[in-house]
Amino acid sequence: MNVGQLFQQTHNIVRDRSAKTSVDKPVLLEGMDGVLIMLVLSLLGIGLVMVASASITIADSKTSTPFFYLYRQLIAAGIGLIAVMAIFRIRLVYWEKSGMILLALSFAMVVLVLIPGIGKTVNGSTRWIPIGVLNLQVSEVVKLFLMIYVAGYLVRHGEQVRSSLWGFLKPMIMIGLICLFLLLEPDFGASVVIMLTVLGMTFIAGVRFTQFLAVITLFGSAATLLVVTSPYRLQRLTAFVNPWADPFDSGFQLTQSLIAIGSGGWTGVGLGSSVQKLFYLPEAHTDFLFAVMAEELGLIGVVVVIGLYTSLVFRAFMIARKAESCGNQFAAYLSYGIGIWLGLQAFINIGVNMGVLPTKGLTLPLMSYGGSSLIIVSASIGLLLRVSYECSNGQAMTRKSSAASKRKTKKPVTRRKNKDLRDLIKEAA
């Protein structure tokens, strides 16, 4: 063997090893979904500008620092960027294996937040756990954890979900218990988003339509009962039907939002020139950021933002389809779930601002002020980027669930006729 052949052989070995390791340990930015990144950065950029504009007056009044909320949002954006980079480097198979752990963590968090001395109460709702300078909103973390759990369950027990009612109900019972704790905070909006997203994922997985319709009916009936039996929820509903009947009390927030949107016209009153954010519109930089944006940027700004959210959801679904084509069902279900979640939450927030839906305390993803929401949504974007990367690089091949492929045959044992909670948890895994 001459020197030239030896060099060529060494070069081929190094190249093969590099190609093999590059899939497991991706280089940041290389192989990422550019379209998804541009959509996210566009929404995040508009959101930061609007948070600065909408919060400048209230921040100056409360803290004497006009850009106090902007600085905090920038810190959250930085943490979110770190989360994206970290999650992008973790293989999806590890997330698939961690489904039951994340479900247990979800139960732990929704219980902890209700314990006096641990949970933080704001405006009558106990939804946050203080962690240093950050107030962690439990429902935001639980949303993502449950998407991962349900995606893994649908892969492991997909045939049961499609063929039997019990296979469909097992995860729904777990989700329902967590939503019950969320209602005790109370956080009705997060419960609705979680339940509808999970139902959407099971529908895509192929659950029988009659069973799906029955659960939807049951969920709708329960939600209606909760609204009717809760005075403050019923007040919100009546204010939504006719906010102008009591514009200075129950309908105040919605009427101010409608005034803001109507004042924007085609091109808006100009960035920073909103009148409604001057102590007229409550929560102008959080739940009603969209109304301030409509006032300052007009119909053109509204159309652009709605178009960006539509494109983001469509891109998530395209990534899910790509995962299906390369045989990774877990990645596909997870991508569908994230797309449904972000699209549904954006739709609800915009609908509330425009008076199409009753008032709910849900943020506008990537735009509204809120550290927990921004960080968790960023983490979900990291998962979407990882799905796109693995499928584009051919790492995800047609396979069964890692848990299912390693499942060992167990000796038959006599089961109790009556199932207790331990049986339910074991089957839900």
Query: DSSP 3-state assignment of 339?
Result: helix
**Residue 242 resides in a domain:** yes
Q: Quick one: which H or E segment has residue 271?
A: none
Give start and end residues of each alpha helix (H) in 279-328.
289-325
- Tens-digit pLDDT profile for the chain (429 aa)? 554 555 456 556 545 554 444 444 444 556 688 999 999 999 999 999 999 999 999 999 899 899 999 999 999 999 999 999 999 999 999 999 999 999 999 999 999 999 998 999 887 888 999 987 788 999 999 999 999 999 999 999 988 998 888 888 899 999 999 999 999 988 888 999 999 999 999 999 999 888 889 888 888 888 888 877 777 777 777 777 778 877 777 788 889 999 999 999 999 999 989 999 988 888 889 989 999 999 999 999 999 999 999 999 999 999 999 999 999 999 999 999 999 999 999 999 999 999 888 877 789 999 999 999 999 999 999 999 999 999 887 654 444 444 444 444 444 444 444 455 555 555 666
CA 195, 257, 308 angle in degrees (round to 5)?
60
Q: What is the tally of structural domains in the chain?
A: 1
So what's the pLDDT on residue 29? 58
**Residue 227 resides in a domain:** yes
Residue entry with tokens 């939450």: 345
Task: Specify the pairing of strand 125-131 against strand 120-122.
Answer: antiparallel
**Residue 407 resides in a domain:** no
**Residue 182 resides in a domain:** yes
pTM of the model: 0.84
Q: Quick one: which H or E segment has residue 137?
A: strand 134-137
How far apart CA 190 and CA 137 sit, in angstroms, is 11
**Residue 386 resides in a domain:** yes
**Residue 364 resides in a domain:** yes
**Residue 19 resides in a domain:** no
List, edge to edge, every strand of the sheet that includes 134-137: 120-122, 125-131, 134-137
**234 Cβ partners below 8 Å, 6+ apart?**
227, 228
So what's the pLDDT on residue 414? 43
So what's the pLDDT on residue 225? 84
So what's the pLDDT on residue 402? 46
So what's the pLDDT on residue 237? 72
Domain hosting residue 327, numbered range: 33-400+419-428
So what's the pLDDT on residue 92? 95
> Which amino acid belongs to residue 202?
T
Helix, strand, coil abundance in the chain, percent, nearest 5: 70, 5, 25
So what's the pLDDT on residue 399? 45
So what's the pLDDT on residue 357? 87
**Residue 20 resides in a domain:** no
So what's the pLDDT on residue 229? 78
